[in-house]
Chains A and B, each alone.
Chain A
Amino acid sequence: MSRRVAIVGGATTPFGVRPTTWSELAQEVGAALFRAVPALRAEDVDSLFVGSAEPERFAFQSHVAPLAAEQMGLRPHRILQRTELACASGQSAIRSAYAAIAAGLSDVAVAVGVEKMNLPSMAEANSSMGCVMDRAWDGPHGATAPPFFAMVAQRHMLEHGTTTEALARVSEKNHRFANTNPTAQFYAKTFSSEKLLGLPVVAPPLRLGDCSSMTDGAAAVVVAGEEFVRRFTDRPAWIRGTGQYSDFHNLAHAGSLTQWPGLTRAAGEALGRANLTIQDIDFAEIHDCFTISEIVEYEALGLCPPGEGGSYALEGRSDLGGDIVINPRGGLLGCGHPLGATGIAQAVEVFQQFAGVVPAARQVPDPRFALVHNLSGSANVHSVMVYEGGGGR
């Protein structure tokens, strides 16, 4: 059996349209991390994994791993690398830290995600988002995420009768949770379903409130091998399982659009490694880059039968008091989506939920198991991790 690994602390910068550079975000999150984990000393951190999707495009900066180390005041001496998997770059950093520590190559690592997305030219930022797709074949047609996920919504509505009200219900829930999260981009903004249904259409049938935002932000966690965990916390988040699946890349191979078998496989792998089923999970942070994504994810995760994700949302079964709490942090819809930071910020939420330190309005009662999911690109890759709280294995 491999060495046990846990997240022992973490911190998130404020997310939003920030008057900061990529490097300043890295400094901010370093300062926040050392405040949040008082026992952490820079010399303890032997390795650093930096999740950042497009610093070359958004910040004209490459070789970001040593830059992040310097900004955060770290001098890693075992493993230093950047992880890039578009929208899942942050979770990739955690998975790499986990793998290194489980293998005995690292003892205490930091996984950090940093993304600066808001540029003076929105069109240039949109091009940066477009090059996540197959740029030579899908890109010239104007493919970016909104029209792709809009087609998913269109097919889901056609095949299953899913309504715009169901989409709005997902957005309303996640924005309501974000109102409890001071680091969320939309912390101070309230969105009723009626208000969401009146916002402008971005890519039909998706409206502005169905889409996550272009966001600047950073988040970091400390990941430690079992002998080092108690140095930092008595409420760790143990990593119990991980799974990924890469299904396709060019949009020609996107299949039905409404079924995401890659997520079913990735979650099955991660849950299987933890000897758990989805019914054991108390709360999940899943990738609501668009409202329709969360609805398809309910189905692919097996929370409800295929086609019933819309009613699952409308019935409140993914809300506090329902079957499972989905996205108590506020999701990508409420918190914003700084690509490389999102997966780390989700893990910070998992750690804080287990530690019982989030505001009562979003605290899941006595959570034991949590699942984190990121999709990347056009839902062509799915990445899943399973965590266990408390002192248990």
Chain B
Amino acid sequence: MSEPAPPGRKRPRVTVAPAPPTSVPSERPRPKVVVAPSPPFLLDFFPLQGAGQTRLSRFYDRLKEGRVSTTCCPRDGEVHWPPRVACPICHGEELEWIDLPEHGRIYAFSAVLGGAPLGMEADVPFAVGLVDLAGSPLRLFGRIVGRPWTALKIGDEVRLESYPLADGRSFYRFRAVG
């Protein structure tokens, strides 16, 4: 069974059709047209990742460097998942970034054999699971690649990795090892 393709997709780069030549070239800048990707923003589960769109853009910047990270609170030591802008325990907003452990073991898993969301139909069948990260209190949910779901077992070791989407964004997933 082949590994699921990265579920990213291309955002079409649409430009305004060139205006017909006129004797007086316009000095005004050409209007910037923003179009929705396919699927449109509100049907695309992959979040907008830029600094202009989320205060957690550092998470996605680090993903591009191959690091999966999260926030922790220096006041109460709470390690968050997902990363946050305010601690849910003390409500402090001065948070620190830490890298997550790379290794973990499968706590539970299943597979999507049908009924995939829009844009993920071509990934079917794919495995998802909850993974206990080594030396961490966190149990993360994610896609599991690298081995067909029929060959996975509870307790299998997996590695947390980042991967690029086709449009330049990044996300994270688990890869079965060994």
Contact = CB atoms under 8 A, between A and B. Distances in A.
Interface of A: 121-124, 126-127, 129-131, 134-144, 146-148, 150-152, 154-155, 158, 200-206, 250-254, 257
A140 B169 CA distance: 12
Interface centre among A143, A203, A204, A252 (most CB of B within 10 A): A252
B112 interface: yes
Contacts of A124: 43, 118
Interface string B45-68: 111000000000000000000000
18 contacts: A123-B119, A131-B45, A135-B47, A136-B47, A137-B82, A139-B45, A141-B142, A142-B7, A142-B117, A142-B126, A144-B112, A147-B111, A154-B108, A154-B109, A154-B110, A250-B141, A254-B130, A257-B108
Contacts of A123: 116-121
Contact of B47 (A140, A200, A202): A140
B121 A202 contact: no
A151 B113 contact: no
Interface string B98-138: 00000000011111111111111101001011100000001
A130 B138 CA distance: 22
Contacts of A146: 110, 112, 115
Contacts of B149: 204
B120 A251 contact: no
B110 A147 contact: yes
Interface-centre pick from A126, A130, A141, A204 (highest chain B CB count, 10 A): A141
B46 A140 contact: yes
Contacts of A142: 7, 112, 116-117, 120, 123, 126, 128, 143
A122 B82 contact: no
Contacts of B46: 140
B118 A126 contact: yes
B47 A151 contact: no
A138 B110 contact: no
Contact of A203 (B110, B118, B130, B173): B110
A252 B117 contact: no
Given A141-B143, A155-B108, A252-B140, A202 B45 contact: no
B161 to A, nearest CB: 13
B111 A204 contact: yes
Contacts of B128: 141-143, 147
Contact of B113 (A138, A155, A201, A253): A201
Contacts, number: 115
Given A130-B45, A154-B108, A202 B113 contact: yes
B109 to A, nearest CB: 7
Interface of B: 7, 39, 43, 45-47, 81-82, 107-121, 123, 126, 128-130, 138-143, 149, 154, 171, 173
A130 B117 contact: yes
Closest 9 pairs (CB-CB, A-B)? A150-B110, A139-B45, A151-B108, A251-B141, A136-B47, A127-B117, A147-B110, A123-B118, A141-B143
Contact of A252 (B82, B109, B115): B82
A252 B141 contact: yes
A147 B127 CA distance: 9
A126 B110 CA distance: 17
Contacts of B123: 142
Given A137-B82, A140-B7, A251 B112 contact: no
A127 to B, nearest CB: 4
Given A142-B126, A142-B128, A251-B130, A147 B139 contact: no
Contacts of B119: 123, 127
B6 to A, nearest CB: 11
Contacts of A140: 7, 45-47, 171
A252 B138 contact: yes
A141 B118 contact: no
Contact of B130 (A122, A126, A151): A151
Nearest to B83: A137
Contacts of A206: 110
A25 B79 CA distance: 47
Nearest to B4: A142
A155 B154 CA distance: 9
A124 B129 CA distance: 23
A152 B129 CA distance: 11
Contacts of B117: 123, 126-127, 129-130, 139, 142, 144
A204 B113 contact: yes
Given A141-B141, A143-B128, A143-B141, A127 B45 contact: yes
Contacts of A251: 130, 141
